Structures are given as structure tokens and as C-alpha cells.
Amino acid sequence: MKHRPVQDVSSLPDLAFGPRMTTWWGTLGFCAVEGAGFAMAIGAYLYLVFINGQWPLSAPPPDLLWSGVFTLLLLASLWPNHLAGKGAKAQDLPKVRRTLVIMSLSGVALLGIRVFEFYGLHVRWDQNAYGSIVWLLLGLHTLHVLTDLGDTIVLTVLMFTRHGRGKRFSDVEDNAFYWNFVVITWLPIYVLLYWLPRM
Amino acid sequence: MSELAAGKDVLRDTDLGDAELSARLARTWGTARGIIGALSTVDHKIIGRRYIFTAIFFLFLGGLAAVAMRLQLARPESQLIGPDLYNQLFTMHGTTMMFLFGVPIGEAFAVYLLPLMIGTRNIAFPRLNAYSYYVYLFGGLMIWIAFMLNIGPDTGWFSYVPLAGPENSPGKRVDFWAQMITFTEVAGLAVAIQVIVTVFKQRAPGMTLDRIPLFVWAELVNAFIIVFALPAVVTASAMLIMDRLVGTHFFNPAEGGDALLYQHLFWFFGHPEVYIIFIPATGWVSAIVVTFSRRQAFGYLPLVLSLIATGFLSFGLWVHHMFTTGLPQLGASFFTASSMLIAIPNGIQIFCWIATLWDGRPVFRTPLLFVIGFFFIFIAGGLSGIMLASVPLDTQVHDTFFVVAHFHYVLIGGNVFPLLGAVYYWFPKFTGRMMSERLGKWNFWLAFIGFNIAFFPMHITGLMGMPRRVYTYLPEMGWGNLNLISTAGALILFASFVLFLYNMVTSARSGPLAGDNPWDAGTLEWATTSPPPPQNFDRIPFVTNREPLWAERETLPVVTGLEVNKREILVTTVSEARADVREPSPDPSLWPLLAAIATSITFVASIFTPWAVVWGGALVAITLTGWFWPKSEEDEE
């Protein structure tokens, strides 16, 4: 079939940010999948609360100290994360490097605090269904912190090499976008794990 | 031209004549020769072909398991197959058909056809696509190898607790089942995301929402269902394997767990799963009905809205699989009502297809025959479905062959018949050759007659009280003759598949050449050669109509200005499909395969030690880093 040119696209950009790029939508897709996973685990938690009546099952409620510190630091990380996204959009390499280093360090600190948080649960996963679901939810969220930290560290190193330009800025922005998801999903889990048993 | 290519200047499609443009694009988008090239490919057509081939291979394996069961049930007190092997066979049959065939086949067609139908050069995230295929393949092989080693799962395709729990199913059989879920769901979710992003962002300019082909709509809705349904079964199987391997108590009532929690999670996935199997088939049906009616779809908008409505409603039905578990009456009534409600959008679709055929000039070639077969069988299955939506009737026939008859009418009618039609329809595009019409007609009639002989009597055996999943029965029950008839039908049905295979193999070798558009169809995949070149299209089409090739019979409007020596795709806006960005598309890479191998090692090893999750996770992280690390100057652009 013969072709009839009707539009020329050579002047279009080859780099853009946010929803104009496919990767942003892919990241959103993964957020949807993982969000659905969180929703299922949260549903299972509430189901177990409902059928048992008494909650938590034969264990004191988990400690508020380290979980509180974790939550505050996690919320605080939203600020450098926002700056990383903004810096990426402006293709401001020094700013991106700086904020990515801060984000990597925050991630490491958060994981460290998370270890103490597990100790403060006062229940093992194999003790009863309460312990199982608490470990599942906390473990699931920890996995998200861990994977995003891995991604952030790789990106940080990348931005200090000669590859730190062009499409990588868009990747930094998507990574910052994903971190918001990690923070937002924590909030309902935090309430469920730490405050629901006290109600 | 060659100076341009060698120099720093950018070479665009406007700089070249048709023949040279085609050749150069084929080089840029091609897959290298040799084994490394084949394993590194990111061409959606090559991966799509592998996906389709593998899913059909598993269909045959699942079919063989069914034939073995039917031979055992052909007469009472048969000693052909013992109870243990029989348990493994029905589990492998269901598991294979649902997870290794049913979900992947719809996605497999999307992987191959979607980019062609919407006028782009590759699927979104092509490396993820390669990874997804390998993970699916390895998961399927794992479960079948386990079966051959006599450690095949034996607790049914849903592996209910407490039967599948640590106390009642010691050993590794159920663990293999649970990890098979993990494999296939990772693969399925990855493709779903690719499909959504491809449809949202890579449609050819001009393909506004109301010009998206119905097949593409079906795959899009299907992808959304997958995104929200599959996490439920992953959660269920993860909890199951943790109960079995690390001593959690999710489903252990003695420690505050609950067996019904498993059923809720499983069926929250399991009911949408029926639509994950059916909805892509509606896409095949729409494409075939439109092409062979020689007119645009009657009721495009109601068809699209019905698809979306079905997608939503499919999440509100799961409890009808649990009517006999002692649910509160109000809940049961609600789910009866919602189960009947979903018949409405499905009915609308069927009326629209019939109206399209009615008002068109139907050409009864093999693909359309299979669609007609689908109407009869699927509607019969829908009618027994409405019967089962009623709690008293369901309670009576629960776990009998009536239910087996019902869902085989729905699933084989709703998926396999359209699939066979779809293969006959798109085979010329996949291979460049037509399948034999004569064998196709034999194929159809053998399948249609064989299917009904096999499954219709099961309604009656079920009403007579024959339960599912029993390896044999006593002669006094009086089920012998009906079972013998069913077995005869199953053998005829299987023969039709052997004929189908024979037709594919011989036609691929020596069928008549197809040309670009043998059916004179209207959608974009027919605008390119058969089989399509690596770049799909030499220039990206500009879409002016829902059936672009019917609207533009003389010349195809196209956009120009993309680079030739670099993989570049045209990204468009979500609703209006206006050209927006020229985005680079990834080159071939071996890393997706390595990542899939690392993933598979992790999944399989975790059956034997939970620590595999830790060291396996590290292994996966290394391969993913290798995957994403830029390799060349082009990667940085």
C-alpha cells in the first residue's frame, strides 16, 4: 500500500517527564499491582480481626517508639524526594546528586529502624495468625522500602558516572514518584498495625 | 546516504526511498542471528509467537491429562489409573488450563497483535516482555517436570486448605503448585502493564479512544482485570506456602486463622479469572465478526461499555463459588443478584455481534464458523450458569459433573472456540501462509460435535449425582453409559485438535501465500507484510477511521520524521492520540533471560529453604542492575 505523508514528527522532543513518557505509566502500573497486593493483605488482616473478635491474639500491642520514629522519618523523606524529582525535571545534575545521596542514606536509616520495629512487635510469625499477618504486612512494606532503596542507590551511582544525563533524569523523576507510593502505602498499614489493636 | 549514517547527522525516514528505508529499519529493529540473538530478542512478534506456541503446547498437555481421565472414567471400576495419579491428573489439567493456557493465551495474542493493530513498532517495555515470557515458560516447565517426577500437585487447581495445608498434604507437591502461581502471576502482571501502557501511550496518531479496535479494547480491559485480580491469588498462594514452610497460621483455625480466608482470596481472583479467559476471546470474536460481515461493528459504544462493565462486575461475584460454605443469607442473595447482573453486558455483546452479522454480508470461512460455534456453546453455558447462580440449585449440584459441564461450556465455548477461529484468522499474518479451509471445516465440525458429545451428557451425570474428582464409580450407580459417551466425545474433540495441529504444521510449510491482507480486513495489522518486518511499519500510520484500511483504500496516511538508525517509537497522548514524544525503545539484551533464570532459581529454591529468598533476591537484584545499566552512548539518549 502506498504511503501518503500527512504529518512530520521530527521536531518533537525525544525526552519528556511524567505522564508524557511510557516509564511513568509503567511505574504507575506497578504501583497499582502492588497497591492491590497491599489491599489484599490489609483485607486479610481485617478479616482475621473480624473473625477473632479479640485482637491482638495473646500478645501485647506492638511498640510505638520505633514505628513512630520510622513513620516520622519516612514522612520527612518526602521533602528531599520532592527536591530530587524537581531537580531531575530541571536536569540540575548537582541537585539531583545531592538529593539522591540524601534519599539513599534515608533509605538505609529507615531499614535500620525497621529492624528495631520488628523486635518491638512482641510476637513471632509462627506464634498465631495475628503474628503471621503482622509479619506479612510489615515484611511486605519492608520489601518495598528495600527495592526502592536498591533502585535509588543504583541511580545515585549512575548519576555520578558519565551516564548521568538525558533519559536518566526522567528515571530519577519516576523513582521519586515511586517513593511517594512507598510512603503513602505505609500510612494505612501503620494505623492498622499500631493503633487498631489499641482501640 | 551512507555518509549520513556514518556521520553524526541524524538519519530520518524522510531522507530515504521506500526500499532503502525498509531495509535499514529492518536492520535497526532486527534480531541478531544465532542462539544469543534468539535469546536476547525483544521483538514483540518473536516473543508473541513463542508465547502463543507455548500456551498452545500447554493446552495440548492439559488436553492429554483430560483424555487420560476420560479413559479412566469410561467404565465403572476401571483400573487404568489409580487414585493418586488421578488426583494429580485433575489438578494438573485444571492448573494447566487456567494458569498455563487460559491467562497466557489472551496476553500472548496481545503481545503479538497489539502493537501491529495500534500502529507502533514494539510493545512498551520490550525487555520486560522477554523476561515475562521466560518466567512463564520456566514456571510451566517446573510444574510439569514435578508431575513427571511424581511430585505433581494433587489438591485441585485451587488447592483449598485445609487439604492443601501442612498437616494434610505433607511433601512438596502443593509447594510446587504455589510457586507455579508465583511464576505465572509475575509473568501475567508484567504483560498486563505492558498492554496498558502500549494502548495508552503508543497508539498511532489519530487513533482516538473511539477508533481503538474492539480487540484492543478487550485486551485493555483484560489487562486491568489482571492488574487487580492476580494480586489476590499471589497473596493466597504466598500465605499458603508460608503456612507450609515457615509455620505461619493464616489458615489454621487452632491459632486464630481461617480456612475460608483462603477461599475468599482465591475466588476474589478466581472469578475475574473466568473473565480474564473470556474477555480476550470477545476481542477475537469482534475482529472476526466485523471482518467477515464486511461492515463496521454494530453498536461499537455498547460493546466497549459492556466490556468495561463486565470488567467491573467480575469483581463482585466471587462468593457464588462459596455458596455451600455456610455464608449469611443476605450475602448469598447479593451474590446471586450480581451473578445474574453480569449476564446483561454479556448479552448486549452477543446481540451486537448477531446484529453485525445480520446486517452484513457474512462470509462463512473457518474463523467465522468457530465464532458461530462459540455462540451456541457459550450461550448454553451461560444458561446453566444462570441456573447455578441460584443458591438452592447450586447447593444441590455443587461438586457434581453438572458444574463440570457448565464451566466447560463456558470456558471451551468462550475461549477455545474463539481461539481456534483466531488462529485461523491471524495465521496468515503470523506466517505469511493460509491454513487449509477444507481441513479447517473438518476441524470445526469435529470439535463442535466432539465437544457436545463429551460435555452435554455431563449435565445429566451431574444431576444423577456423580461427584467431580472421583477416580472411579460403582456399576450400580448407572453412570456407566453416559460416561462412555462422554469419553467417546472427548476422543473426537482431541482428534479435532490433532487435525488442527496437522493443519498448522502443513500450512506453515506449504499453504498458499497470503499476501498482506487476505481477508480484506480493516485494521492496521493488515497494512503491513505477512509476516511483518521487524519494524512492523516503514512509516507510522495516521489513523482516520475505526477500520483504517476500509476508509483508506488507495493510500495509507502516515507520519514521517522518525530516526532510522536508532530504535525510536512515537509516543502519543492518552485520549486524543496526538503525536507527543519520540521515545527511544530498548535494544535486544540477554539480561532479561538472566534475570528470569535468577528469578526461577529463587522461586524453586525457596520451596526447599526460606533463605533462598534472601540470597536469591540478591541474585535477582544483580541481574536487574545489569539489565538497567546503560551499555552504550545510544542508551543515554
Ramachandran angles phi, psi of B250, nearest 5°: -55, -40
Grid coordinates standing for B238? 504466598
State residue B636's pLDDT score.
44
Does B145 score more than 70 pLDDT?
yes
Query: pLDDT band at residue B48, thresholds of 50, 70 and 90?
Result: very high
Query: Quick check: B515 and B534 in contact, CB under 8 A?
Result: no
Interchain contact, A44 vs B261, CB within 8 Å:
yes
Q: How far is the C-alpha of B465 from the C-alpha of B488, rounded, in Å?
A: 21
Interchain contact, B201 vs A22, CB within 8 Å:
yes
Q: What's the gap between Cα A79 and its chain centre?
A: 14
Query: Quick check: B11 and B562 in contact, CB under 8 A?
Result: no
pLDDT digits (tens, 9 = 90+) for B395-445: 999 999 999 999 999 999 999 999 999 999 999 999 999 999 999 999 999
Query: Quick check: B247 and B298 in contact, CB under 8 A?
Result: no
Q: How far is B227 from chain A (nearest CA, A)?
A: 5
pLDDT digits (tens, 9 = 90+) for B303-347: 999 999 999 999 988 888 888 888 887 888 888 888 888 889 999
- Count of residues in chain B: 637
Interchain contact, A26 vs B580, CB within 8 Å:
no
Signed CA dihedral, A177, A181, A182, A183: sign only? positive
State residue B1's pLDDT score.
37
pLDDT digits (tens, 9 = 90+) for B200-212: 999 999 999 999 9
| Nearest CB to B558 within list A3, A52, A126 | A3
State residue B2's pLDDT score.
40
State residue B634's pLDDT score.
52
Residue A132 neighbours by CB under 8 Å, 6+ apart? A125, A126, B239, B242, B243, B248, B249, B250, B257
Chain B, window 413-472: residues with a beta carbon less than 8 angstroms from a chain A beta carbon: none
Which candidate, A9, A72, A48, A68, places its Cα nearest to that of A129?
A: A48
Interchain contact, B249 vs A129, CB within 8 Å:
yes
Q: How far is the C-alpha of B602 from the C-alpha of B375, rounded, in Å?
A: 44
Which candidate, A130, A112, A106, places its Cα nearest to that of A66?
A: A112
Q: What's the gap between Cα B607 and its chain centre?
A: 27
Q: What does pLDDT average to over chain B? A: 94
Lowest-confidence range among B219-228, B285-294, B337-346?
Answer: B337-346
Quote the percentage of chain A above a pLDDT of 90: 94
* pTM (2 d.p.): 0.96
Query: Which of B207, B583, B619, B631 to mutate against chain A (most A CBs within 10 Å)?
Result: B583
pLDDT digits (tens, 9 = 90+) for B454-504: 999 999 999 999 999 999 999 999 999 999 999 999 999 999 999 999 999
Which candidate, B249, B267, B266, B268, places its Cα nearest to that of B258?
A: B249
The answer as to CATH 1.10.8.60 being correct for domain A22-198 is no
State residue B330's pLDDT score.
80
State residue B86's pLDDT score.
97
Q: How far is A43 from chain B (nearest CA, A)?
A: 9
Residue A1: its chain B contacts at CB < 8 A? 516, 527, 549, 555-556
Query: Quick check: B16 and B4 in contact, CB under 8 A?
Result: no
Q: Where are the alpha helices (DSSP H) in B328-436?
A: 329-341, 343-359, 366-388, 391-397, 401-411, 417-431
pLDDT digits (tens, 9 = 90+) for A26-81: 999 999 999 999 999 999 999 999 999 899 998 999 999 999 999 999 999 999 99
Query: Quick check: B525 and B111 in contact, CB under 8 A?
Result: no
State residue B8's pLDDT score.
52
Residue B264: its chain A contacts at CB < 8 A? 47
The residues that bridge with A8 in the sheet, in sequence order, are: B560
Interchain contact, B232 vs A130, CB within 8 Å:
no
Residue A29: its chain B contacts at CB < 8 A? 192-193, 196-197, 227
Instruction: Tell me how many degrees the CA angle B267-A44-A26 measures, rounded to the nearest 5.
Output: 75
Does A139 score more than 70 pLDDT?
yes
Q: Which residue of A has its CA nearest to B637?
A: A166
Interchain contact, A40 vs B268, CB within 8 Å:
yes
Q: Which residue of B has its CA nearest to A17?
A: B581
Does A197 score more than 60 pLDDT?
yes
3-state secondary structure B302-327: HHHHHHHHHHHHHHHCHHHHHHHHCC
Query: pLDDT band at residue B5, thresholds of 50, 70 and 90?
Result: very low
State residue B633's pLDDT score.
55
Q: Is B576 on the interface with A (CB under 8 A)?
A: no
Cα dihedral angle (B519, B521, B523, B526), rounded to 10 degrees? 40
Does B579 score more than 60 pLDDT?
yes
Q: Number of helices and strands (H, E) in chain A?
A: 6, 1
Residue A50 neighbours by CB under 8 Å, 6+ apart? none
What is the value of ipTM here, to two decimals? 0.96
Residue A40 neighbours by CB under 8 Å, 6+ apart? B231, B232, B235, B265, B268
Mean pLDDT, residues B288-296 taken together: 96
Q: How far is B254 from chain A (nearest CA, A)?
A: 9
Q: What does pLDDT average to over chain A? A: 96
pLDDT digits (tens, 9 = 90+) for B530-544: 999 999 999 999 999
Q: Is B621 on the interface with A (CB under 8 A)?
A: yes
Does B82 score more than 80 pLDDT?
yes
